Amino acid sequence: MTTTLLPKLRYPLPATTFSQRACTNILAPALQAGLPASSIVRSMPRALVHAPLSSRGLNIPDLYTEQGIKYIEQIIAHGYRDHSITGKLLRGSIQQTKVELGLPGALLHQDYSKYHQLITDTWVKHAWLFLWEHSMSMEDDGPHLQLRREGDQFLVAAFSAAGYTKTNLARLNRCHLFLQVTTLADVTTGPGRAISDSASRHYAT
């Protein structure tokens, strides 16, 4: 189990996006057969099955945790390498997600619980989920969205502060993507006191 089966299960994890439940279901048949074969009751609590030997556990890796660790390893190994194809793919996906989310700063610093419904289900989103679940974050050196002028604010952040959540926030986010705007300055006149005519025509449409 530890020398043949588990290494095979670990191998594709850098490219997978399995949920916690899916990972549990994938490993379940192996544990059901492997534990009795090792003279261990198959109903042993899974917390002990995955616990380290120092805590009297069996030290059998949890696939979901292993998958999340692989995410972090891939970002560290490739995310900052200019000449790496994988690195270019990662940076492109992160930048695309930033634009889709419409918020400033590093993507992997944002609150997943508030904003996850706004973005497409991708590898980057699953990496963000794992980091958030474990109270971790990661920096990225790519460009961040910027305000246009003094007194400006990001639309998605303003919608969230106004109390819009979940479905309603997702609807507003689709509007900002359709209009290709990110901040309040993108939809207002020069002085910032009224909605611009071009934005008004889009809204009317």
Digit-coded pLDDT (tens) for 103-159: 999 999 999 999 999 999 999 999 999 999 999 999 887 889 999 888 899 999 999
SS3 label, residue 23: helix
Global pTM exceeds 0.85: yes
Q: In the prediction, which pLDDT does 107 show?
A: 94
Question: Is 119 in contact with 148 (CB distance < 8 Å)?
Answer: no
Q: Residue 153's closest CA among 123, 187, 127, 191?
A: 187
Beta bridge partners of 110: none
Paired tokens of 52: 């380290």
C-alpha dist (Å) from residue 150 to 10, 153, 184, 185, 191: 50, 9, 11, 9, 11
Residues whose CB is less than 8 angstroms from the CB of residue 99 and which lie 6 or more positions away in sequence, other chains included: 145, 182
pLDDT score, position 188? 87
Report how far residue 185's alpha carbon sits from residue 95's, in angstroms, rounded to the nearest whole number: 21
Low-confidence ranges of the chain (pLDDT < 50): none
String of DSSP letters for 73-142: HHHHHHTT-TT-HHHHHHHHHHHHHHHHHT-SS-GGGS-HHHHGGGS---HHHHHHHHHHHTT------S
